[in-house]
Chain A
Amino acid sequence: MMNKKSMLSTMDPNTVSGVGRVFALLLICIAMGFVSPVFFTARNISLIITNASIMAILGVGLTVTVITCGPDLSVGSILTITAVVAVIMVKANFHFLLSFAVALIVGTSLGLLNGVLVTKIGLPSFISTYGLQWALFGFAYVILKGYVIYNFDADFRFIGNGYLFGHISMPIVVMMVVVFLGWFILRKTTIGRMFYATGANRDAARMSGIDTGKAILLAFGISGFLSALAGIVLVARINACQADIGKNILLPSLATVYMGGTRATGGQGGVFGTLVGAVIMTVVENGMNLLGVPSVWRNAIIGSLIILTVLANIAVSKQLEKAGSKV
């Protein structure tokens, strides 16, 4: 006879919580289907997945930083400034690919700057990244001077609203590539192992000969790069850019990471969880729209979601520890 606890203890904890998350997603979807007839329409589903894509791209970068040393709280501002750079360049008649490249380079450099502030200056990551965002939002504001830039060329917009092979929306393609690469780097390369080891126990990692400073630098670099990519896809999709485009994106994308089961204190988690988290997050937002929840409630709901998820994660890992220690 096996009781529930010993069942839990024999399974890989990641599997247990992963299954739980997908199950939760299904439950939410079914509930949504009951309350809103349009929820399960093909149009709505594809809308959800497309919207989830941008969240997931950002979420992958956040996942890497959370695993390694702590969330990059500047993702929203890097997204904004790089989007601004890209649209300004393309409006100045630079080739759209060049504008993408410059935006990605700017994003990566800002990410590396975050890494330097953490590893060389010794600022806690949540201070330096939180602080940097105010300056970056400020610069975006300086560049755009409060105007909205809109209406870009089809070339530029393709990455946001185009379709590959006529059917698959581009944001989904980009997202799938990013998630795949994120999974590959984290799970299949020694770089990923460096990230996990650094986040799980920085002392032990260092004493195993791992260059933890390099790992942190790299993690923030990746996060900066993906923030820029998310910014490009976002402006290409909505065909407009203004200085507060990324202001409200940090909380929901951080929520996707925690919902995806990545450990708040680092060392555990992965991008597939984040993908599930991004879909849950988008379903919740979509649901709020369909149900006519006033948009003013959005922040409160997302904030509560973060807290409840982290609390739930703490509770689950305590249960698993209890179950595991009994074997």
Chain B
Amino acid sequence: MTITGTKTAYINARLLDPAAKLDAKGGVIVENGKIADVGANVGTSLASDIKVIDVGGACLAPGLVDMLVHTGEPGNEHKETFTTLGEAAAAGGVTAIATMPDTDPIIDNVAGVAYIDRRARQTKSVKHFPYAAMTVQCQGKEMTELGLLAEAGAVGFTDGLNTLGDAKLLRRIMSYSRSFDLLLLQLPLHPRLAEGGLMNGGEMSTRLGLSGISSEAEALQVMIDLRLAQATGARLHIGPVTTAESVQLIKDAKAKGVNVTCSTCPHYFTLTENDVGDYRTFAKVLPPLRDEANRKAIADAVADGTIDVIASKHHPQDVDSKRLPFAQAAPGIVGLETLLALSLKLHHENKVSLLNVLAALTSKPADVLRLPVGRLSKGSAADMVIFDAGEPWRISNDKLHSKSKNSPYETLPVQGRVKHTILDGRHVYDSTKIANAA
């Protein structure tokens, strides 16, 4: 814990700042919750009044920015509260999250955004930014008060799991949002084509007798969204994308100058439809897990930068929402605490540079959201994660801080472990201290 006015130096670190393309040995000095100095020379000669923390060669990066997070609060506090959400984020090295508006009640008015803002300020372990609905009650009928909601603090607009399929209304919302230069997010699933679908449409769904969501349900919605974004100039984010075809469409649109970014989640480059296996509801997610060829294409697209952002799409579901026949089980995977380790698979297995993996987890989502987070620059908030990129461990659902434990990765061996998470200069998570206490 740092006290106001005191200085703390983190030395002997491998500094990783994707925004500055910095990957070098060095240190960081934190003062009053802000980064006072950063670089290779920090730590060589320090004044005597500075508290020194030797991180022992561990990686020191900006705290992760997770732009796709579902929360249980308000309305489903038995699945997740802002407190448990904050603890899970801190344990995952995540210092900023943007949360979906399709809660109960739905965040589609100024009072709702103000509520999230107030509750989030009480949770001191993560910076919490709300999205607001783009249509009233996420019903796809009327536009919400986009301008007033943005003034109240909404960082983007989405109907969450309800993709807006009405092209005419979507076009108007895109035009209107452009007047205020707002960010719109769409889940890429054509609502009519995906209706009733439970998993990827293909051989696996046929064998299991489950109705499928075909890859064209995703591609078609991506086409509609991109074409309208091109016509209106709207600032669009599509995510999570799960297929090779979507990636190609977005790549082409970017080349044409369309103002679009996209994201994916670790489960789309680490799991496939085969993980549904014997009707495992923990592998039920929207959009669905795809086949091996698409999994590989998604990993490659993150590697080459076509996919801008990796987000967890953390979606807590309690036991009673998952211990059901596959058709009735709720979709979702908790992901805040496994985000870093699963993303690092791209580094360990696909030879993607550590800096590029971290860019998709820090500076790039910060840029999409236009938030002053996700970088280690002088004067910015000291939101940092210190992790050991190579340390092996097994994911254990029981040890998750999230109130819901719906992770399909139970017992999976991974590499890369969070040691400390620091928010505005305060340690909000220390793995070693917890180890000492135990």
User: Do these two chains interact?
Assistant: no
- A interface residues (Cβ-Cβ under 8 A, vs B): none
- B interface residues (Cβ-Cβ under 8 A, vs A): none
